[in-house]
């Protein structure tokens, strides 16, 4: 097997696809606007209700007047947080740390704006009875820039309120991004898996076609015109049926065996007196799902290594059974001890079957082969038993 082998090329391509990091998209980190806006309104309404409730429980005078002022400040808070949300939507650094730093930095000017509105509402536009006393106390400590000090003090306290919302927004956005990355990674894995299944499926037809054309050539050289015509017609029917089938498709076990009988009809024309086929399939397993043409390489090998070199009648037996939730298929063929031993094969056919099963089902399926006690050859494969979705 060399580097130009299609199977190696396909595996290398699949490995590179799975190893590549999924592409990053800033849009993945964005949160549904309804969720973001709803969280802003809910956060500020919760603040309004808690603050108002605590003030009333404490028995502070003139609380109904403060409710209106507090409502104005809450509206300003909603506006500032919504502006922060708009900024975060447009600035999406790639790394989580940079995104969080941008959120924390963008919150600073908006907190200052909110603190300024808070100062205007409570100290200038709607002052209370004790506002003048508060201003006098602050001016005594900071006679030059007392307003700036009030804004700074308020900003420091409110910054954590804004920062918590910004951090939650970034965290939820990052979670969205990770889910999107995982979805794309799963899509890539599925695409690679389907590509592998197709490659394994299409390896069967050229291999089979090569052997059949050799058989047809032998019949023509022997002058067996009727047998050659029958083989051509059977070959046409088999290829039409197999090529029209999606390689990722499941078929019932009954349909799979019907496809194999088309192939056996081709070989029957070549070995009319040497080939005998027996199928033991319980009625309850006829609708069991199997990957299409999964038996083709096995039947082909039984003909090539069992029937072709023999001089007498060779039996091929297919048995289906269910064990512990698995569908078990066993194919046996006789071997004529007097026939010359054919050259060993490359193992492509049986390796193909095993690879298809592992790719499709993982470790719950498998394939093994070897000599029978009677001196013949067997192939046994198993896969999860399912009777729906074929």
252, part of any domain? yes
Q: Show which of 187, 210, 233 is a domain's final residue.
A: 187
Based on the fold, state whether residues 177 and 235 are members of the same structural domain. no
Taking residues 351-377, report their average pLDDT: 87
Structural domain for 107, as ranges = 6-187
Greater confidence (38 vs 10) lies with: 38
202, part of any domain? no
The CATH number of the domain holding residue 300 is 3.30.565.10
Lowest-confidence pick of 8-12, 160-164, 214-218, 335-339: 8-12
pLDDT digits 0-9 by tens, 310-349: 888 889 999 999 998 999 999 999 888 887 777 766 667 7
User: Which pLDDT does position 185 carry in this prediction?
Assistant: 67
User: Which pLDDT does position 207 carry in this prediction?
Assistant: 57
User: Which pLDDT does position 19 carry in this prediction?
Assistant: 44
Based on the fold, state whether residues 168 and 236 are members of the same structural domain. no
Asked if the model's pLDDT at residue 216 lies above 90, the reply is no
109, part of any domain? yes
Based on the fold, state whether residues 12 and 148 are members of the same structural domain. yes
Asked if the model's pLDDT at residue 260 lies above 60, the reply is yes
User: Which pLDDT does position 268 carry in this prediction?
Assistant: 78
Asked if the model's pLDDT at residue 232 lies above 80, the reply is yes
d(CA 146, CA 152): 10
Based on the fold, state whether residues 231 and 178 are members of the same structural domain. no
Angle 63-90/33-57 helices, nearest 10 degrees?
160
291, part of any domain? yes
Based on the fold, state whether residues 136 and 17 are members of the same structural domain. yes
Taking residues 87-91, report their average pLDDT: 81
Determine what percent of the chain is predicted with pLDDT higher than 70: 78
User: Which pLDDT does position 332 carry in this prediction?
Assistant: 93
Based on the fold, state whether residues 275 and 380 are members of the same structural domain. yes
User: Which pLDDT does position 194 carry in this prediction?
Assistant: 59
Lowest-confidence pick of 21-35, 256-270, 368-382: 21-35
User: Which pLDDT does position 75 carry in this prediction?
Assistant: 93
Q: Show which of 187, 203, 235 is a domain's final residue.
A: 187
User: Which pLDDT does position 183 carry in this prediction?
Assistant: 75
| Structural domain count, the chain | 2
Label residue 254 by pLDDT band (50, 70, 90). very high
Mean pLDDT (the chain, rounded): 79
Based on the fold, state whether residues 154 and 298 are members of the same structural domain. no
d(CA 43, CA 225): 88
Based on the fold, state whether residues 178 and 266 are members of the same structural domain. no
Taking residues 151-162, report their average pLDDT: 87
d(CA 209, CA 214): 9
Label residue 181 by pLDDT band (50, 70, 90). confident
Based on the fold, state whether residues 160 and 230 are members of the same structural domain. no
């Amino acid at each position: 097997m060399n580097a130009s082998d299609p199977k190696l090329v396909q595996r290398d391509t699949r490995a590179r696809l799975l190893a590549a990091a999924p592409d990053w998209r800033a849009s993945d980190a964005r949160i549904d606007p309804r969720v973001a806006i709803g969280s802003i309104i809910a956060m500020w309404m919760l603040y309004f209700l808690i603050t108002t409730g605590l003030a009333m429980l404490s028995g502070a005078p003139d609380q109904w007047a403060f409710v209106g002022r507090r409502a104005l400040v809450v509206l300003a808070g909603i506006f500032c947080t919504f502006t922060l949300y708009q900024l975060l939507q447009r600035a999406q650094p790639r790394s989580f740390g940079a995104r969080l730093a941008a959120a924390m930095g963008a919150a600073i000017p908006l907190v200052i704006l909110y603190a300024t509105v808070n100062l205007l509402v409570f100290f200038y536009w709607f002052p209370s009875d004790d506002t003048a006393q508060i201003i006098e106390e602050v001016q005594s400590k900071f006679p030059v820039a007392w307003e700036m000090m009030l804004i700074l003090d308020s900003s420091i306290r409110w910054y954590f309120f804004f920062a918590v919302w910004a951090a939650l927004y970034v965290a939820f956005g990052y979670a969205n991004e990770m889910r999107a990355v995982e979805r794309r990674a799963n899509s890539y894995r599925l695409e690679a898996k389907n590509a592998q299944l197709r490659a394994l499926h299409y390896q069967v037809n050229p291999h089979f076609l090569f052997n059949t054309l050799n058989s047809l050539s032998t019949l023509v050289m022997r002058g067996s015109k009727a047998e050659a015509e029958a083989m051509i017609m059977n070959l046409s029917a088999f290829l039409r049926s197999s090529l029209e089938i999606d390689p990722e498709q499941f078929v019932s076990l009954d349909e799979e065996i019907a496809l194999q009988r088309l192939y056996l009809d081709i070989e029957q024309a070549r070995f009319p007196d040497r080939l005998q086929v027996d199928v033991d399939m319980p009625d309850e397993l006829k609708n069991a799902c199997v990957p299409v043409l999964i038996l083709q390489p096995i039947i082909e090998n039984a003909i090539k290594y069992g029937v072709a070199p023999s001089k007498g009648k060779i039996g091929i037996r297919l048995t289906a059974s269910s064990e512990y939730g698995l569908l078990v298929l066993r194919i046996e063929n006789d071997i004529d001890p007097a026939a010359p031993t054919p050259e060993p094969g490359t193992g492509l056919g049986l390796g193909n079957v095993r690879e298809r099963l592992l790719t499709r089902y993982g470790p719950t399926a498998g394939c093994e082969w070897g000599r029978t006690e009677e001196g013949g050859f067997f192939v046994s494969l198993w896969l999860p038993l399912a009777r729906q979705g074929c």
